[in-house]
Structure 1
Amino acid sequence: MSERVRTALRWLLAAAYAYAGYRHLATPAPFLAITPSWVPQPDAVVAATGVAELAGAIGLMIPRVRQAAGWGLALYALCVWPANFHHALANIAIGGETLSWWYHGPRLALQPLIIWWALWASGAVDWPFGTKEHPPLA
């Protein structure tokens, strides 16, 4: 896969995470609504997730920290997966409207792809398009 494609998809991912981070901070109510009850201090957690998304988006644009940002965003996507399940299984209404399984099913199923996308777009992994060269162990 060409570096141009990786770059374009990295920009797209950064834009998506920057927008999501902004939304977490500007309008936290929908995110608070889907936060599971076992999450402590949901206001702080939603704000922290917004900051994490913004930091990850910025990090994807800085070559020196790009791979670390990819790993951070991949871990972030894994950690918010329970909120996505909670949203789906509890049929939580956002703004008075519930979303169908036409939304929730693909959203839940594609979360591993989002995790991989962060790793691949950042250059942390090359799979399945190639293999990353590692220096020999000493």
Structure 2
Amino acid sequence: MQTTTLQNIFKVLLALFMIYAGYSHLTFNRIDFQAQVPDFVPISKDFVVVASGFVEIALGLALLLWTQRKTTIGWILALFFILVFPGNISQYLNQKDAFGALNSDSARLIRLLFQPVLIAWALWSTGAWQSWNTSKK
């Protein structure tokens, strides 16, 4: 699937965002990210944060480097954003502060609204959504 220059720019921006987010999971935001791990998850919150950090870095690098499979990576990244969404919901419902800015119900609620944006960004910038639409015709 051929993507536009604008889509490619946004794909690179998303890749850099994912690498940065993954790095922050492993370093300076490690404790803050633990606030997003729901209490019902039966493994160590720190393990979940570290593992998701490595996954984010891998997805970011894949977006940058594995251009032949960009639509597949787009779907995988969208799925990743869906899978971590319960953590964001848990953080909101349990009123857990994090990152200095997520210290109110309204801030945590606004953050929830950005998850669909990330999903759409992944699908659009990689051409995954276009490819799926084209395959249905």
TM-score, structure 1 normalization: 0.82
- Does structure 1 conserve the Cα–Cα contact (< 8 Å) formed by 2:23 and 2:57? yes
- Does structure 1 conserve the Cα–Cα contact (< 8 Å) formed by 2:34 and 2:46? yes
Deviations along 1:51-105, one digit per CA (max 9) or x if unpaired, are 1111111111121232222111111110111111111121112377752244222
The share of aligned pairs that are identical, in percent, is 33
Asked if residue 64 in structure 1 is aligned to residue 68 in structure 2, the reply is yes
Between the aligned partners of 1:95 and 1:74, the Cα distance in structure 2 is 23
Deviation at 1:132, TM superposition (A): 4.2
- Does structure 1 conserve the Cα–Cα contact (< 8 Å) formed by 2:21 and 2:56? yes
Alignment of 1:13-32 (within 5 A): 13-27=14-28, 28-32=30-34
Between the aligned partners of 1:133 and 1:97, the Cα distance in structure 2 is 41
Deviations along 1:8-50, one digit per CA (max 9) or x if unpaired, are 1111111111111001111321111221111122222211111
Cα distance, 1:99–1:119 mapped onto 2, change above 3 Å: same
**1:44 matched residue in structure 2:** 47
Deviations along 1:90-135, one digit per CA (max 9) or x if unpaired, are 11123777522442222212211211211111111129xxx74339
Alignment of 1:56-95 (within 5 A): 56-61=59-64, 62-94=66-98
Structure 1 residue runs of 4+, over 6 Å off? none
Query: Unmatched 5+ residue regions in structure 2?
Result: none
Q: 2:122 aligns with which of 115, 118, 124?
A: 118
For CA contacts below 8 A with separation 6 or more, give which structure has more relative contact order: 2
- Does structure 2 conserve the Cα–Cα contact (< 8 Å) formed by 1:71 and 1:124? yes
Cα distance, 1:112–1:135 mapped onto 2, change above 3 Å: closer
Query: Unmatched 5+ residue regions in structure 1?
Result: none
The count of aligned residue pairs is: 132
Cα distance, 1:43–1:120 mapped onto 2, change above 3 Å: same
Amino acid corresponding to residue 112 of structure 1 in structure 2: P
User: What RMSD, in angstroms, separates the aligned Cα atoms of the two structures?
Assistant: 2.4
Bigger drift between 89-98 and 61-70 goes to 89-98
